[in-house]
Structures are given as structure tokens and as C-alpha cells.
């Protein structure tokens, strides 16, 4: 999982990014916003996601949520 900061005019947004591989593509997903993008490499997927998030924050009335006190973990369930 990667953490990215995005800086706007006077704003900085932090998001956790999950990168998965689907066929020949890497898919980068912002966990907090559900914005997704893809690329042929991990770097391309993240770069494309950054551009998509910049447009998302620019075009929406996104209200920043304070995730400083959140805990992100993984969980395995055997069925």
C-alpha cells in the first residue's frame, strides 16, 4: 500500500493507494475516494491515478476527512 499527498492551491490531500495487477494492466485505487486508474506499469498506474485524483478534487466539493487517527489493516478469513 502506498501513501500519496496531493497539493492544490492551499490544500493537501493524503490517500492510501492499493495497486493490483489485472491481466496486463496495473490498477491503482484510492481507498478513501474510490477513484481508480490503470497503467501498463505500476508507475504509470500511480501517475494516472494522481491525475484522476487532481481532477476529482478540483471538480468536486470534496470535504477533507481527517484520517490521522484511523487504523488500516488487512484481515484474512478462512472459509
Encode the chain (79 residues) as per-residue pLDDT tens digits: 445 555 555 567 778 899 999 999 999 999 888 899 999 999 999 999 999 998 888 776 656 556 667 777 778 899 8
Q: Please tell me the predicted confidence (pLDDT) of residue 15.
A: 84
Give CA–CA dist 47/79, Å, rounded: 37
Q: Please tell me the predicted confidence (pLDDT) of residue 9.
A: 55
What domains can be seen in the chain, in order of their start residue?
Answer: 2-59 (3.30.160)
Q: Please tell me the predicted confidence (pLDDT) of residue 13.
A: 76
Q: Please tell me the predicted confidence (pLDDT) of residue 1.
A: 47
Closest CA to 31 of 44, 18, 22, 50: 18
Residues 6+ apart with CB under 8 A from 20: 26, 27, 29
Q: Please tell me the predicted confidence (pLDDT) of residue 43.
A: 96
Amino acid at each position: 500500500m502506498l501513501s500519496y499527498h496531493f497539493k492544490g492551491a492551499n490544500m493537501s490531500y493524503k490517500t492510501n493507494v492499493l495497486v493490483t495487477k489485472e491481466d496486463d494492466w496495473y490498477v491503482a485505487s484510492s481507498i478513501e475516494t474510490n477513484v481508480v486508474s490503470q497503467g501498463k506499469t505500476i508507475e504509470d498506474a500511480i501517475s494516472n491515478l494522481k491525475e484522476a485524483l487532481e481532477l476529482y478534487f478540483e471538480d468536486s466539493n470534496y470535504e477533507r476527512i481527517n484520517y490521522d487517527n484511523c487504523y488500516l489493516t488487512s484481515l484474512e478469513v478462512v472459509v
